[in-house]
Amino acid sequence: MEKTALITGASRGIGKAIAGKLASEGYNLVLTCINSFMELQYYAKQLEIAYHIHCTAVQCDAASWTEVKELTKVLPPLDVLVNNAGISQIGLLTDLSPEEWSRIIDTNLSSVFYTCRNIVPQMVANHSGRILNITSVWGEHGASMEVAYSASKGGINAFTKALAKELAPSGIAVNALSCGYIDTDMNRHFDDSEVEAVIAEIPADRIGTPNEVAQMAECILKMPLYTTGQIFTIDGGWMV
């Protein structure tokens, strides 16, 4: 039986890897991004050719209620929602403007509300569905000079646990995948010495890959529905 998944922020990094993994499992996909739409269109076509699935690329700002609402009006029934869209910013709290704060919170946290608010009614009507929110270890532990990012990810964790309780009676599982240091564009602002310092703290003695996160995401999506409201961590033992 064919399944369909929506993945936000799918043009690169973790979102792109999850898209590739789900495509290899036979999922039809709707992939969104805001800034790299041509690349996403090309990737969607590649996945269609490689895995004989339907894959649609959509330019949509996950931080915009209006754009997300318009997108969900034309979506097919979804079996899976992966909320992956996210941004980060390094800097002191005292240098963070209200506009920058709002952009991070809207992109990382409000976007999760926007997609769920529009998609959950359909899942409830079908009495089935799985929601996976991509979060970060900083959502639990907090990162110096990443206050807004940490706050947004902590919000996702709480959102996940609360929504899981709300939707469990409807046969819908809601979980989150908390990532440690993963080799993505978001982390490429660190210089070599900073990367080495972080790796020295990770028991696995290396940084993780987007493909490893994608493998973990697929495992979570296959778990029994009784597994819900959980924050799973993939960080090489870093924050144990």
Question: Where in the chain does DSSP place strands (E)?
Answer: 4-7, 28-33, 55-59, 80-83, 129-136, 172-179, 231-234
Distance CA 232, CA 206 (A): 19
Closest to 215 in 3D by CA, of 177, 162, 166: 177
> Which residues share a beta bridge with 231?
176
Which pLDDT value is given to residue 239? 93
Domains of the chain plus CATH, in order, are 4-234 (3.40.50.720)
Distance CA 89, CA 70 (A): 28
27, 43, 114, 149: the catalytic one is 149
Q: Which residues of 41-75 are buried (b: 16+ CB within 10 A; e: fewer)?
A: bebbeebbeebebebbbbbbbbbbeebbeebbeeb
Q: What is the pTM of this model?
A: 0.97
Which pLDDT value is given to residue 156? 98
Tokens standing for residue 167: 């939707």
Contact 186, 13 (CB under 8 A): yes
Which pLDDT value is given to residue 50? 98
Which pLDDT value is given to residue 240? 84
pLDDT less than 50: residues of the chain: none
Q: What is the DSSP letter of 107?
A: I
Distance CA 155, CA 38 (A): 31
Is residue 149 annotated as a catalytic residue, yes or no? Answer: yes
Which pLDDT value is given to residue 191? 83
